[in-house]
Chain A
Amino acid sequence: MKEQLRNVEMQDLVFLGFILIVATVLLSIFPDRREVVITTSWEFFVEMISILPAVMVLIGIFAVFVPKDLVVRYLGRDAGIKGIFLAIIMGALPTGPLYIAFPIASALLKKGARISNVIVFLSAWSCIKLPQELVELEFLGLKFMLARLSLTVVFVTIMGLAIERMVAKWNDCEC
């Protein structure tokens, strides 16, 4: 896992270097574009930097104060709306990138959790993270954020139930 993380960081630096080179080359060929590119970049940078520390503090607080086995402890037993609701809440806790969630999901399935809950949990984890939503609010506005969130919750629930049905059917056929 550690090695994976190091690779990711290396990739980030390579990406940054690549972008810097492209920007330098383009802006020296087209000096008339310098001003608009630099102002736009700077505006976006200021907007990012004025919320990033807050977002990171929230991630840090949740990482320390929310126990690691919370999800496995509470998720999976409840079916129906309560189960789905818990899955969304647990998934929305700010706890890192999606690949961390796969082992948790696997543990849940082995424990006998409902597939629909696990799917909803994974989807919520990937696209309804609490700090990320604050960034969405900042850049895309309240209307966009609320519309995307509520639609996502609805369709992710439908998807979870559908996948659960399908897997159950397949298992029946094999038996």
Chain B
Amino acid sequence: MRRQGLLWLNAICALFPATVLASATAEGRVELPKSHSAPVQAKRYEIVTKAGVLSTQPPLAVVYLDGSFPQPASLPTKEVAQKDLTFIPAILPIQLGTKVEFPNLDDAYHNIFSYSPAKRFDLGRYRPDERPIPTQVFDKPGLVILRCDIHEHMRGLILVLNTPYFVMTDTNGHFRLNGLPAGHYTLKAWIDSRTTREKPVELKSGQTLHVDFP
């Protein structure tokens, strides 16, 4: 009876794609830095100012599997919006070659730019209702710091990664990275522009590996 059950299981497994069968999982926790100070908007020379305060974005980390992986034929378009004078999301990890849209959801101009070596661009000033929405393709790995030429306090980050395997932590630093290929790799945790922690890992099919970055 037990032998018959195993045969059935083998037959069912044969119907699943090999990648699913081979997938591994890594989970754990990244020690995040303490919260940033709340941003302050300089309103000195604005005749009209609104009340209210800027939202504070908690620090987050990006965990990714470093290695050499084939580039997919197409990648979904991602988005970094400008709303309430902040970038949403404040940090966006993307795969190399991804196109990112920058919609302006405020009723004021923004002027998004980056002088980062990984991507240098300046979108200029554009209205919220303008179509097409300005986009950029990020074709060099590295950290791209987004700023606004009009609102000095605005900062956003795009982390361009040469891997399809990445995930953001939650605000407590917990992460879970599914669908990883089996093998020997390096798991990295990007924490800020100066801090990236890494650990060599051996991933096995169907197993969950626990990795912490203290």
Q: Do chains A and B interact in one complex?
A: no
